[in-house]
Amino acid sequence: MISPDPRLTQTVLDACESLACYSEVAGEITRTYLCPTTRQVHAHLTDWASRLGMSTRVDAVGNLRSRLESRVPDAPTLYIGSHLDTVPNAGRYDGILGVVMGYALVETLAGQALPYSIEVLGFSEEEGVRFGVSFIGSRALVGTAEELLSVQDKSGQSVQDAVVGYGLDPQELLQARASGQALGYLEFHIEQGPVLQNLGAGLGVVSAIVGQNRLTLEFTGQASHAGTTPMYLRRDALAAAARFMVAAEDLARATPGLVATVGMVEARPGAGNVIPGAASCSLDIRHEHDDVRATALQKLLEVAQHEAQARQVSFRVVPHMTEAAIPMNTQFKALLHQAAGELGLPHPELVSGAGHDAQIMAQQMPAAMLFVRSPNALSHHPDEMVNAEDVTAALRVGVRFLEQLAETVGA
């Protein structure tokens, strides 16, 4: 059993700190899809990869891909990675930690012969900040990125414009696809929530990534004078929306594993002495089982329709996104549990409430995720944290996973 050099934990943390300096906004960590500082991130990681004897390329959508070839002819490939883009004013570890861990694991192997190749992936885009669509990077590997090329950002620039402007060729998308035999995909990621901290565990094995719906509900009534319109004659759009919002919270609290969030509300015309004639609100609803989520969503839309009709308010739904729940691969999960167990480390299983590149990669190959504790449960925030001892534990589990995987491939 190979043990990672204890100094490698600090190498990982230092790399996350260094990459945080490459921001398109001074004084914060902000790095959207193919922004200029992406080149600095690529250069930093390419230098590390070169020292490890890895070949590196940037594919047609800007993914950084560093490869360590197996000595076995026609060997399958294990992909390890996460994303290099960030939300505005982000933390140091979301996405970045998973990419850096890939290089650290290759360094730990130090030339050990494996019956599979390793490709470390630094996905160019996962957050969806610039173009409002997520997973441009990982979609390229599974062959579904081409449909996103025409999507435009707020300035009217398309994904294709951004790709060409960065010096890449969208005609080479086919070469970006994962080719040959794919052994699977492994992603390390901070949890971004409080579950592991609450359990007193540094690591967790992800069982599934939740499915989700995002939509806008629009209520249209009649604006009128707040003082002269009796309550029984009002067509208050915001009152209908408010009833819906409380129903969403009540249903989510009563349904195990369900989360429902109304994050945006708008009332028009927006004056204190005018009854709202129009109101809109967002809904983000998630669950690990698609049937539970679908049933809950249908109930909530029925509530919205009922509350609208009770006030003679019209109602419509504008869908934005539907993502199916994605279970993680059973064999890979078992290997992660086994690795942690052999090392005497707690290894609870938990659902990922956030989307990750693993859900895209799972469309084409076995995929698994190992969560690393977020000590203060903050993410998408400058105060994002990890514990050094948890990073050490993740490295140890990762190395043991690679060893176990080699045994299964060589069997």
Which residue(s) pair with 304 in the sheet?
A: none
**In this structure, how many other beta carbons lie within 10 angstroms of the beta carbon of residue 228?**
7
To the nearest 10°, the Cα dihedral for 87, 19, 371, 148? 50
What is residue 22's predicted lDDT score, i.e. its pLDDT? Answer: 98
What's the distance, CA 197 to chain centroid?
A: 20
Whether residue 108 contacts residue 53, with contact meaning beta carbons closer than 8 Å, is answered with no
Three-class DSSP category at 339: helix
- Nearest to 349, CA basis, from 244, 214, 166, 203: 203
φ, ψ at 23 (rounded to 5°) = -125, 145
Triad 231, 235, 240: Cα angle to 5°: 100
Q: What is the pTM of this model?
A: 0.91
In sign, the C-alpha dihedral spanning 377, 187, 368, 175 is positive
What is residue 1's predicted lDDT score, i.e. its pLDDT? Answer: 72
What is residue 2's predicted lDDT score, i.e. its pLDDT? Answer: 81
Task: Give the tokens for residue 20.
Answer: 């945080």
Helices (H), 266-386: 290-310, 330-342, 357-361
Residue 263, Cβ density class (10 Å: 0-12 exposed, 13-18 middle, ≥19 buried): exposed
Three-class DSSP category at 191: coil
- Inter-axis angle of helices 7-20 and 96-109, to 10 degrees? 140
Task: State pLDDT tens for residues 355-411.
Answer: 999 999 999 999 999 999 999 999 999 999 999 999 999 999 999 999 999 999 865
**In this structure, how many other beta carbons lie within 10 angstroms of the beta carbon of residue 318?**
10
Beta strand pairing call for 326-327 and 203-209: antiparallel
DSSP string, 82-151: EE----TT--SSTTHHHHHHHHHHHHHHTT---SSEEEEEEES--S-TTTS---HHHHHHHT--GGGTT-
Task: State pLDDT tens for residues 26-60.
Answer: 999 999 999 999 999 999 999 999 999 999 999 99
Question: What domains are there in the chain, each with its CATH number?
Answer: 7-210+325-410 (3.40.630.10), 211-323 (3.30.70.360)
What is residue 410's predicted lDDT score, i.e. its pLDDT? Answer: 66
φ, ψ at 151 (rounded to 5°) = -65, 140
Which residues of the chain register pLDDT less than 50? none
The DSSP 8-state label assigned to residue 375 in this structure reads: T
